[in-house]
Amino acid sequence: MPVEHSSQLLKGVLDMCLLAIIDEEPSYGYEMVTKLQDRGLHLVSEGSIYPLLSRLQRQGLIDGYFVESTGGPPRKYYRIEHTGRERLKEWTLEWDDLTSGVKEVLNGGGDET
């Protein structure tokens, strides 16, 4: 799949993926990128997630806080808020419906002959 097309598909679901990662445990940016890449989202970079994290924080879905790190500046960690957990549930249901519909279309409408 061309990188540009993959990138456009990813843009639509990256917020949901970030919430899912943060829901597992509080994380900092580079850690989230690594987790997403380890799970197959290779186009994700730190530069692509920080604007999204800022937006999710402004929307009250996540909270950011600083933790001292050894040998460097404090790291900003993000944790999910109750509203973020609720939104993740909604988005997951919507995603399941959407992917089910797309699979149905791609399979030609099912097994009808």
Task: Show the domains of the chain with their CATH numbers.
Answer: 3-100 (1.10.10.10)
Predicted confidence band of residue 11 (pLDDT cuts 50, 70, 90): confident
Closest-CA residue to 82 (of 57, 58, 107, 62): 62
Rounded to an integer, the average pLDDT of 24-45 is: 95
Beta strands (DSSP E) in 54-105 are 62-67, 75-80
Determine which of 9-18, 22-31, 35-44, 85-94 has the lowest per-residue pLDDT on average.
Answer: 9-18
Rounded to an integer, the average pLDDT of 48-70 is: 95
* pTM score of the predicted model: 0.86
Q: Which amino acid is at 80?
A: I
Share of the chain above pLDDT 70, in %: 92
Asked whether residue 113 carries a pLDDT value surpassing 50, the answer given is no
